[in-house]
Chains A and B, each alone.
Chain A
């Protein structure tokens, strides 16, 4: 095997580290994307029996956004196994307790349930804020594109820019400004 081929072999089977910024992202939609990187489905050498999955680091998981009224309507079910041991916890209560749990459960649910799933989950790192340990930052070589644009708040836009922005609506002539 020539030196070039050997490097190609290393590059093909090496684990790549991806970073994903969860700010204003829907966890259930981004789980479908993260899953593909965790299982290595984005690679041409993918096969279910082939251990070619990558590592994904999720940051800002505290800043995830749920759709509509999901925060108060989505319930997470847990059963202790004892009679009467069923509990339903709302999404905002889960997120209050552990800001990494919703995205973790979403990725876990997006994958097929087999013996590999729990090992694949070990390759997912989730951090509630932007601070990551230094040894993990050094491994990261790729960034996964965000699915949704992070919205800009009106008070963060420059006041001059708001004034100069083209207007659609004009007040009627007898309107009293408030």
Chain B
């Protein structure tokens, strides 16, 4: 997907600028991309613009927060932080979703499989409880009170139902 966008971006840029710019690069630019659409006369111009990430200075990492960071190099950032996230913590869960409320895939969130599954289920719970209605598709009935049948009443969820069986953490040790 990103490759396709990159290619289309370079195509558009070539069409506009029509100079032999070197658009291929072996290293990532340390920026994010945003696709903007605007009109110049009778032509519609789509351009990919690099923007700095708005989250970099607000980022919380375990090695900066905890006093004695004893973290395995393989643990992901959520396991290292060891937060007790509930489905009502919409300020945390909204960071893991797109603007239409869909959970981001693991290659973007960079979580371990266990945390990805847990966060994904928490996002589903928050959406079903109607706590993130501004992050929903355009066809969604935004107000939970106007939904159909049983969906219009308040629902809460128990986080214990996410993992019925206790899955051992990679740091756990077993005696045989």
Give A residues with C-beta under 8 Å from B. Answer: 24, 26, 63-68, 70-72, 90-92, 95, 148-149, 151-155, 157, 162-178
Contact = CB atoms under 8 A, between A and B. Distances in A.
B156 A26 contact: yes
Nearest to A176: B33
A4 B106 CA distance: 71
A9 to B, nearest CB: 44
B95 A168 contact: yes
Nearest to A24: B154
Interface residues of B, number: 55
12 contacts: A24-B156, A72-B150, A91-B150, A95-B153, A153-B90, A154-B91, A154-B134, A167-B60, A168-B60, A168-B92, A171-B53, A176-B1
Contacts, number: 129
Most buried by B among A26, A66, A148, A149: A66
A121 B150 CA distance: 28
Chain B interface mostly: mixed
Contacts of B72: none
Contacts of A149: 88
Contacts of A72: 149-150
Given A153-B90, A157-B91, A167-B58, A177 B156 contact: no
Given A169-B109, A177-B51, 16 more contacts: A64-B153, A66-B154, A68-B157, A71-B153, A72-B150, A154-B90, A154-B132, A154-B135, A167-B55, A167-B95, A169-B95, A171-B55, A172-B108, A173-B28, A173-B29, A176-B33
